[in-house]
Amino acid sequence: MRIAFVLLWIIITVSFAGALLPTEKQPLVYSSVWFFCLLGLFALNLLVCTVDRILFNRKKVASILTHASVLIILSGALVSALFGFRGSIELSEGQRADSFMTDRGVRALPFFITLEDFSLEWYETAQKGYPVRVRVEDRGFSGQYRAQPGVEYPLGETGYSFTVVDYLPHFVFDRENRAVSRSGQPLNPALLVRIKGPALSEERWIFANHPDIEMGDDLNIRFRFDLQPQIKEYRSRVRVDDPGRRISFSRDIKVNAPLEYRGYSVYQSRYDSEQLSWTGLDVVYDPGVKIVFLGFILMNSGIIGILYPKLRPRGPGKNSNI
């Protein structure tokens, strides 16, 4: 309302000033873009004021908005239920798919998807040394260490000491029965420790995933390898080929970062620790999502619009008596 009056006064002043100008210069004012904008603003303001006054007040708008948003969310859910579907694709590196499995059988995709590479990222867990627990049975000694490779750790007054000699992230025996790492992934972390004791010295493998397997001569001294490697990210690098549209691109699919293309969303879902060149992807087609999210936005605005005006303190110290 106040803006309308301000605009009105500006228009009046400008029109009067224009009228004072010589006739041939008057179009400079009356036909100018800014004068039209001024009139347009005034018209808009008037429209808003009128609609506001005649049709509804702000409270009603917020209430209508909120309750309508519930209907919008529900209709979005209905659209999801009726027209949406989800399924999965399993791909090995280099393999290409143009369809996916759903509960009701195979469905075609409007594009090809090829797995270029699957990889795991791990949190760096052994940054401050390898976490090792040691117990010397007959002396009742126990200790925890963050062992650095090559450093000798004496175990109190027991006469024992140990040194980490080697670390294999993915321990396996090869054909010649040698301990090797099958991959760089910490899928079976193993530590080789050299033990010096009062009677004898030996080297022994200890396994993070298999604490019960501990082969050694002197089992008076027992080790635990407490490494718990944690996966940081699963990443499927895929190529999308859409011959119909002559589009082709590569993208990384990660948890929380799906591939979105032509209404389809492709999510990182599963992996196989035994076969790291394989990935399990979920495919979702859901035209209801956008409707639901629109409903969410309206609902949040509506609820804030209804409730927050009620929070305005009425006069200072309204509740100072409690």
Total site size for other proteins, rule CB under 8 A: 38
Look at residue 293 and give its three-state secondary structure: helix
- Are the C-beta atoms of 226 and 211 separated by less than 8 Å? no
Q: Is 87 in the site for other proteins (CB under 8 A)?
A: no
Segment lying near other proteins (by CB under 8 A), choices 139-147, 159-167, 214-222, 261-269: 261-269
Q: Is 322 in the site for other proteins (CB under 8 A)?
A: yes
- For 175, list phi and psi in degrees, rounded to 5: -65, -30
Q: Is 311 in the site for other proteins (CB under 8 A)?
A: yes
Segment lying near other proteins (by CB under 8 A), choices 29-37, 103-111, 136-144, 255-263: 255-263
- According to DSSP, residue 21 is labeled S
Q: Write the CA distances from 104 to 85, 86, 107, 111, integer angstroms.
A: 10, 10, 9, 20
Q: Supply 190's token pair.
A: 């193993």
Distance (Å, whole) CA 182 – CA 185: 8
Q: Is 182 in the site for other proteins (CB under 8 A)?
A: no
Distance (Å, whole) CA 118 – CA 229: 18
Q: Is 271 in the site for other proteins (CB under 8 A)?
A: no
Q: Which CB, 57 or 319, lies closer to other proteins?
A: 319
Q: Which CB, 25 or 318, lies closer to other proteins?
A: 318
The per-residue b/e assignment along 126-148, b for 16 or more CB within 10 angstroms, e otherwise, is: beeebbbebebeeeeeeeebebe
Helix axes of 2-20 and 33-54: crossing angle, nearest 10 degrees? 150
For tokens 């639901």, name the residue: 292
Q: Is 284 in the site for other proteins (CB under 8 A)?
A: yes
Are β-strands 96-102 and 105-122 bridged in parallel, bridged antiparallel, or unpaired? antiparallel
Q: Is 258 in the site for other proteins (CB under 8 A)?
A: yes
Is the torsion defined by CA of 92, 96, 101, 105 positive or negative? negative
Among 234, 240, 251, 279, binds other proteins (CB under 8 A): 234
Segment lying near other proteins (by CB under 8 A), choices 32-40, 43-51, 126-134, 282-290: 282-290
Q: Is 310 in the site for other proteins (CB under 8 A)?
A: yes
Q: Is 267 in the site for other proteins (CB under 8 A)?
A: yes
- Are the C-beta atoms of 206 and 190 separated by less than 8 Å? yes
Among 11, 38, 86, 222, binds other proteins (CB under 8 A): 86
For residue 202, give the nearest of 224, 217, 220 by alpha carbon.
217
Q: Is 57 in the site for other proteins (CB under 8 A)?
A: no
Q: Residue 264 Cβ, how far from other proteins at the closest point, in Å? A: 10
Segment lying near other proteins (by CB under 8 A), choices 11-19, 139-147, 150-158, 313-321: 313-321
Q: Is 292 in the site for other proteins (CB under 8 A)?
A: yes
Q: Is 319 in the site for other proteins (CB under 8 A)?
A: yes
Distance (Å, whole) CA 59 – CA 67: 12
Q: Is 67 in the site for other proteins (CB under 8 A)?
A: no
Among 107, 237, 239, 254, binds other proteins (CB under 8 A): 254
Q: Which CB, 89 or 195, lies closer to other proteins?
A: 89
Distance (Å, whole) CA 230 – CA 51: 59
**Region at 9 (left for phi over 0; alpha for psi -120 to 50; beta for the rest):** alpha
Residues near other proteins, by CB under 8 A: 77, 86, 123, 230-234, 254-258, 265, 267-268, 282, 284, 286, 289, 292-293, 296, 299-300, 303-304, 307-308, 310-311, 313, 317-322
